[in-house]
Amino acid sequence: MTISRRSFLKTTMTASAALAAPAISTRYAFGSEDPIKVGSLLDQSGAIASSGVTMVTAMQQGIAEINAAGGLLGRPLKLFQYDTQSNIQLYSQYAQQLALKDRVDVVHGGITSASREAIRPTFDRFRVLYFYNVLYEGGVCDRDTFCTGTTPAQTVEKLVPYAMKKSGKKAYILAADYNYGQITAKWMTKYMRDNGGEVLSVDFFPLDVTNFGPTISKIQAAKPDLILSALVGGNHVSFYRQWEAAGMKDQIPIASTTFGLVNEPSTVDAKVSEGIYGCYGYFEELETPESKDFVDKLKKRWPQIPYISELTAATYEGLYLWAEGVKKAGSIDRMKVIEALESGISFKGPSGEVKLDPDTHHTIRNAYLAQVHDRKWNVLETFKAVPPSDTASVCNLIKNPRDNQQYVIDIKA
């Protein structure tokens, strides 16, 4: 067979057209409907990974559900998740990448308060809508940012008087030595005093402290009725274990704003966690249909998933609140979405009804008070629709839309 120049050209052109056809046709199908880009910065490795990994599952689950229901505004969602490796420098780097290279339409992410404050200015500068879906110390007042987790007025305010009622009026505060711990310790001090109590001492711990021997002796010398803990991370779990080993567990009760957010009750011995009080926006043990459905869905898709805490539930709800805002705005234009979100958007999620507060860009949500029993959280009380009154007392973005700072509570010594 001889190949003429003409027949060679004919066959190769047909072949390349055939090969390129799928690309051209899909391009055509989505031509006017490119995916909406959702950025996400969560730690999947390093010290914070135990929190981040389950939060990523919530993002993936939420996006899959929204896409299965036809996407938003007829367009599918596409997730851009970067593993920030528990490294603040990578947060800054990936934040720039999401804003400038990927040009995402919204970012959900940040776990520690330190990471949030590292990336928030970047998203402000490049005008990218930002959702922070983690419980934190409160006070962020920024029209570009929505904080959907609980703040101290929603949890610590309930936890402190309850624990005081069960123990006594003298507390000893232990907290992690960075902005979350420092500010949360101030809120604990405020609520102790508001309820007629007294704070004997406030001790801060760098995140790599593992030996709590001197602290345990100091606590014994001070003789408090109650321990309030805002200790963070794997190294600080040593405190609870050394406390139990010294035989102090049955002598002085512990209430914590952080214990159990990862899966501490199931990793430490039952004796260590028994009786610890906590107050969060969500517990895996909640019996509502939405909660059970959420837990079932995640456990079915990721059978190895550890405890599903407020971090995971708030991430899922944060994504849906944003989606509700986009639906209402009928656009993904940042300002239109912000205005829609400020019109009183709400979503019924695993933790119950979650409503965005227009003034503060925080959420009005349920809070649950619980106690560990036999490695599980036993929910004792439910507080419906608690407002973020701490942030609301200093922040009003409707009146001062140009405000942009994190307010810090001032406690007189």
Return residues touching another protein (CB under 8 A).
Answer: 45-47, 49-50, 53, 86, 177, 203-206, 208-211, 213-218, 220-221, 233-238, 241-242, 244-248, 251, 262-263, 266-269, 271-272, 304, 306
Q: Considering beta carbons, is residue 211 or 331 the nearer one to another protein?
A: 211
Q: Cα separations (Å) of 71 from 33, 36, 396?
A: 11, 9, 33
Q: Name the 3-class secondary structure at 88.
A: helix
Q: Considering beta carbons, is residue 245 or 411 the nearer one to another protein?
A: 245
DSSP 8-state assignment for residue 72: B
Shortest CB 264 distance to another protein, Å: 8
Shortest CB 375 distance to another protein, Å: 10
The count of C-alpha atoms lying within 13 angstroms of the C-alpha of 344, restricted to the half-sphere facing its C-beta, is 0
Q: Considering beta carbons, is residue 205 or 347 the nearer one to another protein?
A: 205
Place of tokens 């760098």: 206
Shortest CB 302 distance to another protein, Å: 11
**H or E element at residue 273:** helix 270-273
Report d(CA 277, CA 291) in Å as an integer: 21
Is the distance from CB of 335 to CB of 308 less than 8 angstroms? no
Q: Considering beta carbons, is residue 54 or 61 the nearer one to another protein?
A: 54
Shortest CB 250 distance to another protein, Å: 10
Q: Is the dihedral of CA 304, 306, 307, 312 positive or negative?
A: negative
Q: What share of the chain is helix, strand, coil (3-state, %, to 5)?
A: 40, 25, 35
Report d(CA 250, CA 24) in Å as an integer: 70
Is the distance from CB of 282 to CB of 314 less than 8 angstroms? yes
Shortest CB 203 distance to another protein, Å: 6
Give which of 239, 122, 241, 96 is closest to 181, Cα–Cα: 239
Shortest CB 215 distance to another protein, Å: 6
Q: Considering beta carbons, is residue 26 or 211 the nearer one to another protein?
A: 211
Q: Considering beta carbons, is residue 75 or 375 the nearer one to another protein?
A: 375
Is the distance from CB of 245 to CB of 219 less than 8 angstroms? no
Shortest CB 212 distance to another protein, Å: 8
Q: Name residues whose C-beta falls within 8 Å of residue 101's C-beta, 6 or more positions apart in sequence.
A: none
Q: Considering beta carbons, is residue 208 or 287 the nearer one to another protein?
A: 208
DSSP 8-state assignment for residue 396: -
Q: Considering beta carbons, is residue 196 or 214 the nearer one to another protein?
A: 214
Shortest CB 46 distance to another protein, Å: 6
Is the distance from CB of 108 to CB of 131 less than 8 angstroms? yes
